[in-house]
Chain A
């Protein structure tokens, strides 16, 4: 055990967590993190928030500094892409042909942006927002008197819109669906965010399809919509979702299905190979089904699971999935997954930007979206994990204490 080698492919949130949890758990073997990007592991959430806004220095994005990795005897090798893994010989090969042997291998390869299959999407001022390099490239295009067109009204598109608008940019958001955040939340929350962005001056167009990106000298200068309307732009941001990085795993014979399939301990179908984070598909507590989550909490939780599995320790206790998003002065905290809810109630008042929506399925609380409402979020997390059958009218009644409600379901 003590001389085992753990190879972590990918150097993001899940990689950092796995390595940290291994050392915290007393693992004494060799740990090597191999990452494609030029940077050691860093946090992505601020990329579309404080970092884009210029309120957070780059240095504060990094989870750990170089001295820490050195003191923990963890090798972090950057600018290295693993192109194949051989499960039989227990080795991984880089694009340039270098071979790394392992006793345990962790896929922490994350995800990449979906690209827009449209002519013009390759022009030099058309950006995605996934990596530090992406934000640094986008930043100069954000500011007074600049036109930014964002295709896709998911969290990343909307967070970027909020920062860009705050910095004086003229922002237009184009969304194919009939509402923003359609894939991830209910119509009530979508309507709240549409209204919020419009009040700040963002031009949001839903049910809107783009028919072409037009350019001159290698640069996009306008976007034509299916309606025939043409919008000028100085830059474009495409935020239409992500694809999990599963190709290397799939070619190694690991079972994948829109995600590397892992069990409740983070193990793939091949012994000694694990996966964690955006690239993994796992059993989601408390819903009893498989799913792939794209969140920090998921990457951390799975990183801990994998570390425990490598060390032969019991799997850590799982929490219900959760997520947050910051836009303008609004903090959204999401507990659970609201997909396929059959009932909901609202607590609080959306007019004063402080309310929560609780979602139910078969009378069980399955999710909550809390807008500037931390107590509702914290309470929901507990109740969801406990699969509580909370009477909806209790939660809807702002005079009824959340602590009292939670106490009933201990």
Chain B
């Protein structure tokens, strides 16, 4: 059960214990992290699970595939570190990673 820290745009911190195998989006939704709506439930169809993950963690979270990247290209408030959290499976190694949320979804 790795611990994951979600940080709102305003800087509020919310630490949760996530289940290995769930996606980062599922962990957020199950813990009611505000700002992750996940309208499509992880089908990579809505971009309402948009988060930022610092490049220092990208070895753990991987990089977006084509579909995810093209959704991200057209999402609001995109940054180079943008990801769709439904496309990131949680692993034991993710203990302590920090996930930042955009201002609006």
**Cβ contacts A26-66/B at 8 Å (1 or 0 each):** 00000000000000000101100100000000001001110
Contacts of A194 in B (CB 8 A): none
Distance in angstroms between the alpha carbons of A374 and B74 in the assembled complex: 8
16 A-B contact pairs sorted by A residue (CB < 8 Å): A20-B32, A23-B32, A24-B32, A43-B41, A65-B30, A68-B32, A296-B39, A324-B40, A326-B43, A374-B67, A374-B74, A375-B70, A375-B74, A378-B71, A378-B74, A378-B75
A296 touches B40 (CB 8 A): yes
* Any A CB within 8 A of the CB of B34: yes
Q: Is the CB of A60 within 8 A of B26?
A: yes
Q: Which residues of A contact B40 (CB under 8 A)?
A: 45, 296, 324
Within 8 A of A (CB), among B32-70: 32, 34, 37, 39-41, 43-47, 67, 70
Contact in complex: A64, B43 (CB < 8 Å): no
A402 interfacial contact with B, CB 8 Å = yes
> Which of B26, B43, B70 lies at the interface centre, i.e. has the most chain A CB atoms within 10 A of its CB?
B43
Measured CA separation A72–B30 after assembly (Å) = 12
A residues near B75, Cβ cutoff 8 Å: 378
Residue B93, interface by CB 8 Å: no
Contact with B along A103-137 (1 / 0, CB 8 A): 00000000000000000000000000000000000
Contact of B43 among A63, A68, A324, A372 (CB under 8 A): A324
A297 touches B73 (CB 8 A): no
CB A55 to nearest CB in B, in angstroms, measures 12
Whether A333 sits at the interface, judged by CB under 8 Å, is yes
CB B74 to nearest CB in A, in angstroms, measures 3
Task: Determine if A378 and B39 form an interchain contact, defined as CB atoms under 8 angstroms apart.
Answer: no
Q: Could you tell me if B70 and A300 are in contact, using CB atoms closer than 8 angstroms?
A: no
Q: Is the CB of B29 closer than 8 A to any CB of chain A?
A: yes
Number of A residues near B (Cβ < 8 Å) is: 29
Q: How far is the CB of A76 from chain B (nearest CB, A)?
A: 15
- Does B81 belong to the interface (CB within 8 Å)? no
Q: Does B22 contact A (CB under 8 A)?
A: yes
Q: Which of B31, B41, B47 contacts A68 (CB 8 A)?
A: B31
* Inter-subunit contact A300/B39 (CB<8 Å): yes
**Of B41, B70, B71, which is within 8 A of A45 by CB?**
B41
Identify 17 new A-B residue pairs, CB closer than 8 A, beyond the known A24-B34, A333-B45.
A64-B30, A64-B32, A68-B31, A72-B32, A297-B39, A300-B39, A322-B46, A324-B40, A324-B43, A324-B45, A374-B71, A375-B70, A375-B73, A375-B74, A378-B71, A378-B74, A379-B74
Report chain A residues within 8 Å CB of B46: 297, 322, 324
User: Separation in Å of the B6 CB from the closest CB of chain A?
Assistant: 14
> Contacts of A23 on B, CB cut-off 8 Å?
32
A63-B29 in contact (CB<8A): yes
In the complex, which residues of chain A have a beta carbon less than 8 angstroms from the beta carbon of B45?
Answer: 324, 331, 333
Alpha-carbon distance between A390 and B92 when the two chains are bound, in angstroms: 48
User: How many whole Å from B104's CB to the nearest CB in chain A?
Assistant: 9
Kindly identify which residue among B29, B30, B32, B74 contacts A402, using a CB–CB cutoff of 8 Å: B74
Least CB distance from B73 to A in Å reads: 6
B26 nearest CB neighbor, chain A only: A60
> Are B22's CB and A60's CB within 8 A?
yes
| Shortest distance from the beta carbon of B101 to any chain A beta carbon, whole Å | 13
Distance from B25 Cβ to chain A, minimum over Cβ atoms (Å) = 11
Cα–Cα distance between A168 and B81 once the two chains are bound (Å): 41
A60 CB, min distance to chain B CBs, angstroms: 7
Nearest 10 CB-CB pairings of A with B: A378-B74, A324-B45, A374-B70, A374-B71, A43-B41, A375-B74, A375-B70, A24-B34, A300-B39, A333-B45
Chain A neighbourhood of B44, CB < 8 A: 331
**Neighbouring B residues of A68 by C-beta, 8 Å:** 30-32
- B:55-103 near A, CB below 8 Å: 67, 70-71, 73-75
> Cα distance A45–B43 when bound, in Å?
9
B88 to chain A, nearest CB (A): 15
Q: A64 to B45, alpha carbons, bound, how many Å?
A: 21
A379 to B73, alpha carbons, bound, how many Å? 10
Contact with A along B17-32 (1 / 0, CB 8 A): 0000010001001111
Give the distance in Å from the alpha carbon of A43 to the alpha carbon of B43 in the complex: 12
Chain B neighbourhood of A60, CB < 8 A: 22, 26
| CA–CA, A356 and B50, complex, Å | 24
Report A323-350 CB contacts with B as 1/0, cut-off 8 Å.
Answer: 0101000010100000000000000000
Contacts of B34 in A (CB 8 A): 24
